[in-house]
Amino acid sequence: MNIQKSILFLVFACCAMSLQAKTRIERDLRHWSFSRDSVRWQTVEVPHDWAIDGPFDKRWDLQRVAIEQNGERQATEKSGRSGALPWIGRGYYRTTVSVPADCRHAELLFDGAMSEPVVYVNGRKAGRWAYGYNAFRVDITPFLNRNGRNMIVVSLNNREESSRWYPGAGLYRPVKLITTAATRLDDWSVFVRTVSLTPAEAQLRIDWKAVGPMKGKRVEGRVIDDEGHVVAAFRAPTGQTAESRLLTVARPRPWSPESPALYRLSLDIRQADGRRQAIDRHTTRFGIRTVTVGREGGFMLNGRSRKFKGVCLHHDLGPLGTAVNKAALIRQIETMKEMGCDAIRTSHNMPSTMQMEVCDSLGMMVMAESFDMWFYPKCKNGYVRFFGEWADRDITNLVLNHRNHPSIVMWSIGNEIPEQWSEEGRETARRLQDLCHRLDPTRPVTQGIDRIDEALRSGFAQVMDVPGYNYRDYKYSSGIGRLPQGFLLGSETASTVSSRGVYKFPVTISDHAVYPDGQCSGYDTEFCSWSNLPDADFLMQDDRPYTIGQFVWTGYDYLGEPTPYDEYWPSRSSYFGICDLAGLPKDRYWLYRSVWNKRKHTLHLLPHWTWPGREGQTTPVFVYTDYPEAELFINGKSQGRLRHTIYSLPPADEATEKRQMETMDLLRRYRLMWTDVTYEPGEVKVVAYDATGKAVDSTLVRTAGSPARLRLEPDRPVIHADGDDLCFITVSMTDEAGNLVPTADDQLIFDVEGAGAFKAVCNGDATSLESFTRPQMKLFAGQLVLVVKSGTAAGDIRVTVRAPRRNLSATLRLKAK
């Protein structure tokens, strides 16, 4: 009998151990069925944007509104404001999952779902969220069938006039199923922060919370560097469910944009004897770094003062829509870093986890933003419907989900909130900022303010850790004395508009230029009524010591908001980007690079030099360079040498400052401009000289001949055979000598064979209504970008591009490994 009891005890003990022994299982739920009516279904892979296939049609979200942020007073028809794609309406996703028989807890982690997601498990409502941009978790444990298949259904509802730009539609970010034992670590409770940092050591504070029975169990932690070495470790007391622990790391490698060193925190729940497999394991990547802001030093990273060289980014990825993709994010961030950019603002939405992971690893600082509106609507069905009930919950999820990312250096609680003038607005700002501080005491909080005078009168700007000015450079001098912080941030700057490869004559500085073709000039002298030239922001950052940097609107063109063509059709995407919608740099990219990139020289000239019919007419030539002096030659004849001029702007009244920020004199500080060049076909060349007068660099552009070749340039020759990786191929029409033909607008056809497939195509033309997801498109200004997706098997990928009208074709071979 005693033997039988002993055996039974061992059996029960082993069963109990088996229920606790397995560590968590995390699965990406990629394969779903999708329907717009819950009747007809198709198989899709998540992340998925149901609207990006189109077609473009101005009726999808035709809005009749006055855009107050743009100074409009009378409502007019806005045809492409939210991208002119079919994102409005309901959508449904379903999939089936099984869980381990010994699973004691299961949750779904949605990184975002557009919009108003409601989650059902086996026919029962398991949870919901309101905001399409936010991550949220749903505990599905009570709804599971333990020994069978489980049906998960997600219902989404996108309402008309709920966005000022293209929001996308669907399960556009990853969805994870996480199963654990009864005792587990609460993922969002884990918080790693740098308390102090010196070259000799860093002190880290680690917080966590265990859920479930902890009797006879403990938490063990290890900090591991990027070479796999354990650099710090601890064991918490047995039975403890939550703790805050200090650890010391010797000779730390601080995270920064220049050196994005990462560490890994591994937390295990184990039996107290430590001999058995971990019951649960949570792993977090983090960086060791400190962030402070103050009157002395402004913004400081790791104790060193620096000014943000930042851009604003909407969340769509051009022809991919809003379906997040790691390869596309890497391309985007790497392009910005090569320009000299060191920060992004996630405008005006909460970022994806994948985007933050890319910024962590590549070294890009981030202002993580939350809302575009609070109580007052900018569009009738926007977030104003949810703010009162959901704002605190949304801020909580934003911070808890992302606070371990070293790339995030600042939280933003809003953008151009209309309540800036009011006491209610000021107190709401204070409350949301305090909530951020409670959840994360290590980062400052900001928001973008556009009604500067009203915000200063109400105290709205004064309560913020970091007062952010959207535009209004000419108000910097008059307002800084009223800011107790002693500094200000250009939270949104420039809004200069241009089209890649398009140039308008005569060249003038204008805040209201529009043209019959729906394009903007690539001379970078056109902006909007509320905004300014890039040069004005450069001057403010260079000459005003109280400024702590800027975030340019925008790094890339994005779908929707086609200002200044809000009322023009067809026009369905923005002109603000430093790069176009395809990710190709506009000329403005090189202007920013010449000022921001201190590691490499820049020498870029514009415009192109193929102007049939302009012979004998004035065609200005601009050069963007960090060299102090350059000489221009047309067909070997010197047009003279120019130097960057010294142009300063002493503080003055607002009207005077605004006027002086819109002059050619200002432009000459940052651009070399030969404004009276007469066009003649041939060669335009620029020679750069260093400070000693020595010729050190040159570049040239030639008049193109007849189109004769297709040039294919992949961003990488080898991609991963994981079913997700992308290759971005720039396709250019050239003449026989290899010169780009900027007038070419041929229709191209694409064929992809082998271990990859056609994914998308984009030419960067804001007025194009061609589908991104059909294998054909016209060139714009002689170029476009073709996107090829890998399969799941290794092998060769053969890409063929044809221009039928000219009987031209070109082939490129890639590898998937």
**Which active-site residues does the annotation give?**
416, 492
Q: How many whole angstroms separate alpha carbon 173 and alpha carbon 324?
A: 6
DSSP for 405-439 reads -TTEEEEEEEES-GGGGSHHHHHHHHHHHHHHHHH
What are 630's strand-pairing partners? 642, 688
What are 284's strand-pairing partners? 265
Whether 497 contacts 526, CB under 8 Å: yes
Q: How many whole angstroms separate alpha carbon 551 and alpha carbon 338?
A: 16
Q: Could you tell me the CA-to-CA distances from 449 to 317, 335, 372, 466, 540 in Å, in that order?
A: 26, 28, 11, 11, 17
DSSP for 657-678 reads HHHHTTSHHHHHHH-EEETTPB
Whether 316 contacts 325, CB under 8 Å: no
Q: How many whole angstroms separate alpha carbon 619 and alpha carbon 331?
A: 34
Q: How many whole angstroms separate alpha carbon 45 and alpha carbon 429?
A: 39
Take residue 301 and report the two structure tokens written for it: 């990273």
Residue 332: in which H helix or E strand, if any? helix 326-339
Whether 32 contacts 93, CB under 8 Å: yes
Q: How many whole angstroms separate alpha carbon 114 and alpha carbon 111?
A: 10
Take residue 435 and report the two structure tokens written for it: 């909530």
Tokens 């790693």 label which residue? 192
DSSP for 493-510 reads EE-----TT---SS---B
CA-based angle 92:93:98, to the nearest 5?
Answer: 145
- State whether residue 476 is helix, strand or coil: helix
180: nearest Cα among 139, 220, 127: 139
